[in-house]
Structure 1
């Protein structure tokens, strides 16, 4: 681990003082029509930052990593991380940014100018480490693991991608890392029209399982129903047809990372809630009563974004997660996740459960 950290620091310094490398063709050409609309205005900058200074980092990987990290929401904040590439203040400052609050952090172009060279430094440090300590991981994947979970997950695991129990990585941590890698790989393929770059001779990318969250959710077509379906979690409870369908769809995709589910409930403290109507479920990716962090937080965001992405077919009315309220009709900030959850005068939003920091609440319109 110390070797990689020293190499990372050295690489960061070298990036700052050496002459830019000769521009090279990126390993995967970007299809501008395939990338998210929010990314298109930054494609020239990303291509410039990579091809001129870090030709071994394909532009498609940067676009895919940003999409996986933040969905191109420059104002997104998850825990202590912020911005397009979800960096902490410590990483931001180490990469050359100013201490927070720094307006450049949430400016898409300025954020990329600071963090993309940092990604390149990480990539080159990983390449140096793997050259002396070969592992069954690509340099680009090692960079992703470092960025998401810390370089000790690379150095402390046998393959470079930790299994549960390796490098202090829990099952949730390991699952989050593998889903993260799968998501970036899938998006690189979409954005470049070709399989992602892989620098291992004889590697077989097709061995990676497809990310089930990438597939469209099955649509609910049964129309509005009453609370007539049995709640599969709570005996005596009931769900509407859309709620039953949405819960089953989410469970099929996220069952390994959803720890606990709660749907129907009398909710005496808030009779207006959708829970006693059978129209809402709470999904926990970690322990109840604790602020989600690390893998639990990452998986929670994956679940929440999956519901948002599939809001129309699943008849999602609104979502609450990490002190934020989302509904399909609001897009002032581009994604809708910028609205603060107030608790409606009923819930203590500073509490892990009251503020929905330990679970995702999803209400269904049907």
Structure 2
């Protein structure tokens, strides 16, 4: 395999055999036509649909669904595939051939991802584009556009209780697979750190106590902070995390997540100093742990060492992509570039356990 698995965030030892064999073609397709779709999400999504059985066929929706992504004939033809000559398709049908299926289906799935991303961006709904893609796939994009958050509650978008349960279990399942198949991304090991418990509640308002002394946190942010402390210990002069701060008015940045109670900063060394040695390693351990468990913790994004990472952003020449400061912070300053602290932002809206 020519692709570096660690560079694309896939633990090849954990994924199904056909997924590992297909990693080169998955990476080639996503990098050239859909860079916002991480390869590990392709692997997890296909696993949730067909368990990586290329000849899988089901008759429970739209006249039958076939192949790795379990597409019906209409969707397969829309992706550019040939019509079926029988149902189920014959063994030599293109939809049942793994490489051909991925070649056509991944760009088709990417169209749903981009439709979801455009809608969520225009409406400000809190659902992530990748979760929106899953809603489109399992229940149709009308469930995404017709709901208040992007993931329907009972009665929204024509979704009854069974529809709600289907969508949420599906998203939960894919999240769990993403975490299972992801390679820890960072230069240090986190094998000795415990996995966090998943956030499963609603998190829309700043109602939880901020233990770092700020005004308030959303429940999801408080949960993430508590799990960080459980994994790495309380901040202190001899602890992996020297200090932490969450809620802050951030008057100079009206768009800051800190003033919404959805962000925290963690300092592995003294503020204003470039961390070195063990302090730098401790910072990387936290950043890697947050990235590895992003789905469980509802991570929106992480900034550290002049790099920005989110679940929707592929790596560019290293961990995440270069952080520019967004026109507000000086990317050449030790604090403005986030060299001295890990910034964690948490998604707002309804939490879905991976």
Query: TM-score by structure 1 length?
Result: 0.48
- Where relative contact order (Cα < 8 A, 6+ residues apart) is larger, the structure is 2
Q: TM-score, normalised by structure 2?
A: 0.49
